[in-house]
Structure 1
Amino acid sequence: MADLRPPSAPPLFERAAAEVRATAFRGDLSVREIPAPAGLAPDCLALAGDVRPEEHGLDSPYGTGRFILLHDPDEPAPWNGPWRIVCFAQAPLEPDIGIDPMLADVAWSWLMDALGSRRAQFHSASGTATKTLSKGFGSLAAEGDGAQIELRASWSPSGPTAPHVEAWSELVCMLAGLPPGSEQIAVLGSRRAARD
């Protein structure tokens, strides 16, 4: 990954960032470091991940995600500490899966399960899970019905940083229909994949 670290990052943040950069990802997920959003914290590092983008060019039709590690020694009150992780994961779904009333709960539980399975220590978690349904009309009628799930979450990590990155990558793959251990197996339930 390209190193986009700020020139004056403190040693504590540099150690955490080095952990993030050293994380190994499954072959189905292409991860790269991207410029971190400005103004969130004095020190931050951001990753972008795409599920199997090489099969379809730059944008993955299967799923995508972002991971941001934030550090603020002033310990903002909502964080309850100096560290915060913000993550985003999004994937298309089959419409019949998109109408499931438990879908948002399942997406959140996958994140909690991924953090638990990696023994990632955290507190002060919050987030939203959003499902959308769409129908094409006019020149887009041929696209038919579609659905999408999106999870935005944040939590305050404690302990090593790598388990949190691993949990995020697992979440991105799970939303895209690739459960753990399914590397290089066909993506499950991807509406867009079926059209290509």
Structure 2
Amino acid sequence: MADPRPSTLFERAAADVRAMALRDDLVVSEIPAPKGLAPDALALAADVRPDESGESPYGTGRFVLLHDPDEPEAWGGPWRIVCFAQAPLEPEIGMDPLVADVAWSWLVDALDSRHAPYHSASGTATKTLSKGFGTLAAEGDGSQIELRASWSPSGPVEPHIEAWAELVCMLAGLPPGSEEIQVLGARRTMRD
């Protein structure tokens, strides 16, 4: 029977993650990790400039660090990162046929800019468009971009978390260096 306790290597990585300071305009908290993906897991949730209710009109993200000392073949090593990021878009931007490609390129650029080496990357970028009808007609048109990705990190995990934080903020319209810049008007949020 496998030992249910986290490995010492994972415990050290998790402690390093918990000690990290990220952008001031990104509120990050630890959340319960998904079960059954790996023997060891740590999950984070992030909201870009949340309002008083805790909701973010700009964007949100999730980051999951997985560790399996048995090194699953698909991972190509003992570590795997799974991330999610989504943000509302202006409808005109959502209709751009390249917006999904841009979202993926921002992930790759963020990893490269943070010197976060990786391999075995996979993912999807999804854009959605919506139009309100009936009692929702007043809400008008909406659009959203969502990126789901996973990769196997090489080296320390901290640069990968910094890259994820940069990606979440980029999708929300806040490039690096925009922490102190006031945003005029939130993008329209998608209806459920």
**TM-score band (shorter)?**
over 0.9
The structure-2 alpha-carbon separation of the partners of 1:152 and 1:64, relative to structure 1 and needing over 3 Å to count, comes to: same
For residue 114 of structure 1, report the CA deviation from its aligned partner.
0.4
Could you state the TM-score of these two structures normalised by the residue count of structure 2? 0.93
1:186 alignment counterpart: 182
1:98-152 alpha-carbon deviations (Å, 9 max, x no partner): 0111101100000000000000011100000000000011111111000000000
For residue 127 of structure 2, give the secondary structure of its aligned residue in structure 1.
Answer: strand
Higher helix share: 1
1:144 alignment counterpart: 140
| Alignment of 1:21 onto 2:18 | yes
Count of paired positions: 186
CA distance in 1, matches of 2:118, 2:36: 23
1:3 alignment counterpart: none
**Equivalent residues in 2 for 1:144-183 (5 A)?**
144-183=140-179
Give structure 2 stretches of 5+ with no counterpart.
none
| Alignment of 1:46 onto 2:36 | no
Over 3 Å off, 4+ runs: 186-190
For residue 26 of structure 1, report the CA deviation from its aligned partner.
0.9
For residue 74 of structure 2, give the secondary structure of its aligned residue in structure 1.
Answer: helix
1:57-96 alpha-carbon deviations (Å, 9 max, x no partner): 1221110000000000111111011100000000000000
Residue from 28, 31, 56 that aligns with 1:31: 28
The structure-2 alpha-carbon separation of the partners of 1:69 and 1:118, relative to structure 1 and needing over 3 Å to count, comes to: same
What amino acid maps onto 1:92 in structure 2? P
For residue 192 of structure 1, give the secondary structure of its aligned residue in structure 2.
Answer: coil
**Equivalent residues in 2 for 1:29-108 (5 A)?**
29-53=26-50, 55-108=51-104
RMSD over aligned CA atoms reads: 1.5
Give structure 1 stretches of 5+ with no counterpart.
1-6
For residue 158 of structure 1, report the CA deviation from its aligned partner.
1.2
CA distance in 1, matches of 2:140, 2:182: 22
Could you state the TM-score of these two structures normalised by the residue count of structure 1? 0.91
CA distance in 2, matches of 1:189, 1:150: 21
CA distance in 2, matches of 1:189, 1:20: 32
